[in-house]
Amino acid sequence: MPPKLLSEYDKSAVASAGAVFKQISTVHERQYSYEPPPNTILYHYTSAEGLKGIIESNELWSTSAYYLNDSAEMFYGYDVLKEVLDQWLSNNSRSEDSITLGLARQLRSSFQDLFEKRLLKPVYLTCFCEEDNLLSQWRAYGQSGGYSIGFRVLPKVGVFGERLVPEPNIYTCRWTRVEYERTKQAEICRNILDPIFAMLDEPTMTQAMRAVSEHPFLGYQKLFTETMDVLLEEIVRFKSEAFKVEKEWRAVVRQRESSKQGTDDGGKTPVPVHFRTSRGTLVPYVKLLPWKQDKKLPIAAIRSGPMLDSTMATVAITMMLDRNRFPFVRVQGSDISVRF
């Protein structure tokens, strides 16, 4: 039996259900109204091999979140959300047929499955810092020669200086600032959940959601997937306060429920996922490319690490930039005097 048309549903129920989804969208956009980066450049730390690959291929790699240097980062965000949901479930009693209670429980169990059973939807991250000469980053990347690459960004959050797009045309890329304060992280989760729960608790809204429960775009399942999607967008930017000195930003590349890029043909075209090796294992990644084929990555500066001879490094970097036709890039060495 074909699904009912939207016009066949009660108009007031459709309007009420639509208000819930508008609330989700409003909350999501408000969460992204952060202050922009303090400078117009953010820095990506990498090895000599990484620098060479970025310049010669004119592309950035966005690594699967499960394969970060510290894979526990993804589980950290889940722990914060789990704590918020557990607290809500403990403090808010509802009847067993409550839509709000059902949503809270399903979110709790689904996120647990995603993380503990490694069923997480593909999420790829490219990491940046606000500063280009951080000792903590040189310790991670610079012991055998490392570099920080400065990328131009626009004042508006979420936009590269010259737009980069993921190679998979069903993915989108978005800037986000990493949040390190746990109380703030929990507050972000509650700011998403509390307005949605409050709306669903209203008797008229409960009745409306039940009336349109089977509709593919306004029903309960869509409500659940969009709420989960918004929460996932947030927790991938949570990190322990121990890393606060990094002042990190991330380009988050993934398929989003509410904003899709390009054409989704239902999976007929394979998603272009690539693989590199690191520490004896395969690491999945996707490519970030300039928005036009004749454009270059928006690189504004490159700094060599403190373990390198800055004069020799500068000459080699400049030669490589000239050969690959990257214009107007500032090149310098680190002035930190340190032995690892």
pLDDT along the chain (340 residues), means of 10: 65 81 73 64 93 97 82 81 96 92 94 71 90 88 80 67 80 88 95 91 87 82 90 90 91 78 67 88 93 91 91 95 95 79
Close Cβ partners of 128 (under 8 Å, ≥ 6 residues apart): 42, 43, 44, 151, 248, 249, 250, 251
State residue 5's pLDDT score: 65
Three-state DSSP class for 8?
A: helix
Query: Is 186 within the bounds of a domain?
Result: yes
Query: Is 289 within the bounds of a domain?
Result: yes
Query: Is 269 within the bounds of a domain?
Result: no
Question: pLDDT tens digit string along 39-96?
Answer: 789 999 999 999 999 999 999 999 998 887 665 677 889 899 999 999 999 999 899 9
First to last CA, the chain: 69
State residue 7's pLDDT score: 65
Among candidates 301, 295, 292, which has minimal Cα distance to 321?
301
State residue 121's pLDDT score: 72
DSSP assigned state of 262: S
State residue 274's pLDDT score: 95
Separation of alpha carbons 313 and 227, rounded Å: 48
State residue 337's pLDDT score: 73
Query: Is 270 within the bounds of a domain?
Result: no
Query: Is 188 within the bounds of a domain?
Result: yes
Q: In terms of C-beta distances under 8 Å and separation of at least 24 residues, what long-range contacts does 112-120 make, across chains too?
A: 112/78, 112/82, 114/78, 115/74, 115/75, 115/78, 118/66, 120/65, 120/66, 120/74
Question: pLDDT tens digit string along 11-42?
Answer: 888 887 888 878 777 776 665 545 567 778 99
Query: Is 234 within the bounds of a domain?
Result: yes
Query: Is 157 within the bounds of a domain?
Result: yes
* Contact call for residues 107 and 190 (beta carbons, < 8 A): no
State residue 63's pLDDT score: 92
Instruction: Determine phi and psi for 328, rounding to 5 degrees.
Output: 55, 50
Separation of alpha carbons 8 and 14, rounded Å: 10
| Domain span holding position 14 | 9-262+277-333
C-alpha distances (whole Å) from 215 to each of 161, 251, 279 are 40, 33, 48
State residue 227's pLDDT score: 92
Query: Is 180 within the bounds of a domain?
Result: yes
Residue 108 tokens read as: 């709790």
Our count of domains for the chain comes to 1
Percent of the chain with pLDDT over 70: 85
State residue 284's pLDDT score: 93
